[in-house]
Structure 1
């Protein structure tokens, strides 16, 4: 584990277990656990999915972002429609329905996960998958090619691929913060609060 990653995780370990977890999260814990375990298996990373919802919407199912993302999992309308099309068993796109949003989030994360099998380890793979959820898989692949061209490791996100992009400055800042905040701050917090699945970057 790199020194920066270890330092950030060490800092987070000293935070209270329930620090800044919205009260609304508890109302969704059982359903999210069921959804993630159904989609990912009994060892599915529930805490990661919870941390992602925390980052996306702070557990508000009716929220709209300034750019048009909708609901608990903050899907753009085009993404909701695409997910509903490739996974017809989910039914019509319903981003404001917490049940649909959590199921679609788990599927969308798994779809990205399956495209990113060459990552160095589970922590890096989750980092790539979350970056793709936030900004698109195409950007992740372009960033990996830039890392390769610079002589860095395209299979490692932290300290490698995360340094490279041609995205706009605001998009770069948002995307890199998104990955780090979910995996290194929020996921350990949810894990300590009793959400199942563990934190993939703690090892």
Structure 2
């Protein structure tokens, strides 16, 4: 009887720990924005949208806090800088008054669209995963930087790994490479699996 009670207590503790682990995987704040993200992802990318990666990106950027402001002035769920907000709204022909980085719907729509814009600008000769990896590097540190670094390899079609290895060989200071290279890895490798239940998980080509 004592052993039975002890076993039950241990089982209860294990279940409680598992529940906490599950809760830690997917921040509770994300649930209120899930439908908006899914709608925008499927509307702009189609049914095969990298939903899990997009959700992971929001977690990385703002931890799902629409009022987040970074030390350099990035704002909202998607952490758009003011200059990027203005450029994106001009490109999308959105009235300035309607450009609201702290508005969750606007932020998710803009992030999903900007990611798609960057992804489409990466050569389709790369895998979808590598295209997304480079697009995320562009989102974080500027597309022009990784393109300039790719040219320093002297190769007509360097691999994504070769482009990563060339970080800091052009205009970007090498000290910024750690953050820029960590960004897609954090999103696609570490955080994306947590959102597998939301939709497609993009993985490296085998």
Q: Under a length normalisation based on structure 1, what TM-score does the superposition of the two structures give?
A: 0.82
**Alpha carbons of structure 1 residues 90 and 38: separation in structure 2 relative to 1, 3 Å:** farther
Structure-1 separation of matches of 2:176 and 2:42: 32
Q: Which residue of the partner structure matches residue 33 of structure 1?
A: 38
Structure-2 separation of matches of 1:22 and 1:121: 30
TM-superposed CA distance for 1:21, in Å, is 2.3
Q: Which residue of the partner structure matches residue 198 of structure 1?
A: 201
Q: What is the count of residue pairs matched by the alignment?
A: 182
TM-superposed CA distance for 1:160, in Å, is 1.8
Q: Which residue of the partner structure matches residue 9 of structure 2?
A: none
Q: Which residue of the partner structure matches residue 3 of structure 2?
A: none
**Is the Cα contact below 8 Å between 1:90 and 1:104 reproduced in 2?**
no
Aligned to 1:65, which of 70, 79, 82? Answer: 70
Higher Cα radius of gyration: 2
TM-superposed CA distance for 1:202, in Å, is 7.3
Structure-2 separation of matches of 1:170 and 1:76: 21
Structure with greater proportional helix content? 2
Structure with greater contact order relative to length (CA < 8 Å, sep ≥ 6): 1
Map 1:1-203 to 2 at 5 A.
19-89=24-94, 92-146=98-152, 148-149=153-154, 154=158, 156-157=159-160, 159-166=161-168, 167-191=172-196, 194-201=197-204
